[in-house]
Amino acid sequence: MSRSALIGNVTAMLRDAGFVVSDRCAIRPKSFDLAARRGDDLVLLKVLGNIDAFDGATGAEMRRLGTYLDATPIVVGMRTRNEDLKPGVVYFRHGVPVFNPDTAMDLFIEDVPPLIYAAPGGLYVNIDGDLLADERQEKGWSLGQLASELGVSRRTVSKYEDGMNASIEVAIQLEELFDQPFSNPVEVMDGADEVHEAEPTPDDPEADPDDEHVVAVLTRAGYDVHPTMRAPFKAVSEDSDRRGRMHVLTGHSAFNRSAEKRARIMSSLGEVTRTRSVYFTEERTKRDSVDRTAIVSCEELAAMDDPDDIRDLIRDRTSEPAES
């Protein structure tokens, strides 16, 4: 299956699951392909045939964007260089959860989260330690007896009951011994933090030198500007004042056909992420907006001395984020 067809299938699956899905980010560079929202759940998705193509820089970008936009970054893929991704298993690449389309369908359509995750050494599950301790005591077994049945040490059983995760082989043994499962689901929409200790969110990259004057003006106006390297926009700018917190997807370049296409994608992303979007152009244009993306010339921006005037201009030309 081609990557384009795979993205189309994932898009259709998300819509069937009740998500509002953005237009595909069919431009380069692009750290993600789609944004999708259902209620308060916002996901940024990268769709790949071979997940080995997902590199560290893209993973860092997706994790930063997840922090800025309160979203969960996810990769949906088919295989690695050596094997197909197993159904029902969450993998991790550069701090981002990864799983195959069947697992995505179970999670989003059937509301059945995965129970297994891959880590160095094999496949593991998140054991419900309190339930295990209760069942062991009800059966009248000591820690040593259960350890003997499992072929592990008494200390290891104690760690299971304290919340240490177990291999899938141990989880199967426990289910057979007690005739019930002890596996907790992997909470993918929370970043699978309970089974994956990701490194802290990577620091923002330096702004592109061509964008430094725009960043300087926005910063002077009171925005916290988070530059991006591979997103369909140049930055996520955050404004917090008495009127509330506002995130703005921010673009910048000469205004040409490529810029117009990028502005339309930013508009679609803004609707899904519940943010505004603004595109700063190097020359004046006759247009105030492209779809929901405001168009503001750098000349207009530079002519304003009052930070409040800059913020008011951006607010006036951008539409209120839609409730999805």
Same domain, 223 and 305: yes
Specify the number of domains making up the chain. Answer: 3
Q: What is the 3-state secondary structure (H, E, C) of 44-108?
A: EEEEEEEHHHCCHHHHHHHHHHHHHHCCEEEEEEEECCCCECCCCEEEEECCEEEECHHHHHHHH
254 belongs to a structural domain = yes
Predicted pLDDT at 196: 65
State percent of the chain over pLDDT 70: 95
Residue 77 reports pLDDT greater than 70: yes
For residue 168, what is the domain's CATH number? Answer: 1.10.260.40
Average pLDDT over residues 165-185: 92
190 belongs to a structural domain = no
pTM: 0.89
Average pLDDT over residues 60-69: 94
Whole-number average pLDDT of the chain: 90
Average pLDDT over residues 270-296: 92
For residue 19, what is the domain's CATH number? Answer: 3.40.1350.10
Say if residues 40 and 49 touch (Cβ distance below 8 Å).
no
289 belongs to a structural domain = yes
Same domain, 167 and 242: no
Same domain, 226 and 303: yes
Same domain, 19 and 106: yes
What pLDDT band is residue 313 in, cutting at 50, 70 and 90?
Answer: confident
Helix (H, G, I), strand (E, B) or coil at 283: coil
For residue 228, what is the domain's CATH number? Answer: 3.40.1350
203 belongs to a structural domain = no
Beta strand 276-281 pairing with 293-297:
parallel
194 belongs to a structural domain = no
Average pLDDT over residues 283-304: 88
The per-residue pLDDT for range 17-53, each reduced to its tens digit, is 999 999 999 888 789 999 999 999 999 999 999 999 9
Same domain, 12 and 108: yes
Name the least confident of 189-198, 251-260, 287-296.
189-198
Residue 242 reports pLDDT greater than 60: no
Question: Could you list the residue range(s) of the whole structural domain that residue 180 is in?
Answer: 123-184
Determine the Cα–Cα distance for residues 95 and 137; give it in Å rounded to an integer.
38
Predicted pLDDT at 245: 72
What pLDDT band is residue 240 in, cutting at 50, 70 and 90?
Answer: low
160 belongs to a structural domain = yes
Determine the Cα–Cα distance for residues 183 and 123; give it in Å rounded to an integer.
13
Predicted pLDDT at 137: 94
302 belongs to a structural domain = yes
| Residue with the two structure tokens 């699956």 | 13
192 belongs to a structural domain = no
Same domain, 109 and 9: yes
Let me know if 223 is exposed, middle or buried by CB neighbors in 10 A (0-12, 13-18, 19+): buried
Same domain, 19 and 45: yes
Tokens of residue 294, six digits: 């405001």
Same domain, 66 and 91: yes
